Amino acid sequence: MHPHHSGRGRDEAEKAPHAGNPGVVPGDSFVGVTLARILRPRGRRGEVAAEILTDFPQRLTTLREAYLWDGTNPPRRVSVRACWLHQQQAIFHFEGSESIDDAARLRGLQVQIPLAERIPLPPGRYYVTDLTGCEVWEHGASQPGPSTSTSTRKSVSGTPLLVIDTPQGELLVPLAEEICPRIDIAERRIEVALPEGLRELNRER
């Protein structure tokens, strides 16, 4: 996500067990990033179609290993036999998935990679997960307000919006350089310079 324009701000996005692979990864030791979500079987040989949840879809075609996660249980490591892109979806063939029934059991699982393997972003661009949970300061204030960024959204115009939890309720702030002049991921800190009338506009939503 880039505070200077309205480009997409997905996670690299990447956990679901499959009976054909014993590579269970302890949940406490694995931090994953979701790249895709499995939608349904495709074909008759165990392939699945998946929703792409990364701004870098071509990298999916180079994966040789991934982690499947159901959102609850520890992720399971699987080998990727093949992956190709088709009509804005990713088609995966995982090791151990040999039939339509095998593929159907993967429905809804997230395809992940380790957090450390995310594609590095250039200065001024941020992953949504890095912005989530940051402490939010009013620009120039010596003490932080009791505010935390919780997620991001897109406005009707496509501009990324930072969602901030405040004692007065949810505050939506455009993720623009003049409004968010400082974003420090290492310190988990975002400084905002709120335009006049922005709080009032939020209360009227």
**How does pLDDT run across 128-153, given as a tens digit for each residue?**
888 888 888 887 665 556 567 666 66
Which one, of 3, 72, 83, lies nearest residue 35 by Cα? 83
Please state, in angstroms and rounded to a whole number, the distance separating the CA atoms of residues 181 and 177.
Answer: 5
Predicted pLDDT at 10: 47
127 occurs within a structural domain: no
Predicted pLDDT at 55: 87
CATH number at residue 154: 2.30.30.240
Beta bridge partners of 84: 91
Question: Do residues 27 and 112 both lie within one domain?
Answer: yes
Which one, of 115, 153, 147, 149, lies nearest residue 133 by Cα? 149
Q: How many CB atoms lie within 10 A of CB 122?
A: 6
8 occurs within a structural domain: no
* H or E stretch at 32: strand 32-41
* Residues of the chain falling short of pLDDT 70: 1-28, 140-147, 149-158, 204-205
Rg of the chain (C-alpha set): 20
Predicted pLDDT at 157: 61
Predicted pLDDT at 100: 98
Domain end (from 117, 148, 170):
117
pLDDT digits (tens, 9 = 90+) for 149-170: 666 666 556 678 888 888 878 8
Question: Do residues 113 and 27 both lie within one domain?
Answer: yes
Question: Do residues 91 and 148 both lie within one domain?
Answer: no
Number of domains observed in the structure of the chain: 2
Predicted pLDDT at 73: 92
- The alpha carbon of residue 28 and the mean position of all alpha carbons in its chain are separated, in whole angstroms, by 19
Predicted pLDDT at 120: 87
* H or E stretch at 202: helix 198-203
Beta bridge partners of 192: 138
